[in-house]
Structure 1
Amino acid sequence: MTTETLVLAGGCFWCTEAVFEQVRGVLDVESGYSNGQAEQPTYEEVCTGATGCAEVVKLTYDPSVIGVRELLAIFFATHDPTSPNRQGADIGTQYRSGIYWTTPEQAEMAHSVIAQLEAEGTFGAPIVTEVEPLRHYWPAETYHQDFFARHPYHGYCLAVAAPKVAKLRRTFADWLKPGID
Structure 2
Amino acid sequence: MNKLKNIKLFNDLNKVSLKYSSLPNLVEENDINDNNKLQQLLLSYKNNINDIKSRSNLISKQARDMAKDSNARQIFDTIINLNNFAMDRYNNILNSNENMESSSVQALLNTTVEELILINNSIKYKEFLKDKFSYFYIYEKIAINAFINFLVLKDMNIDKDKIESLSQAILSQIQCLSLISM
Task: Report the TM-score, using the length of structure 1 for normalisation.
Answer: 0.29
Using CA pairs below 8 Å that are at least 6 residues apart, which structure has the higher relative contact order?
A: 2
Larger-Rg structure: 2
Between Structure 1 and Structure 2, the one with more helix by share is 2
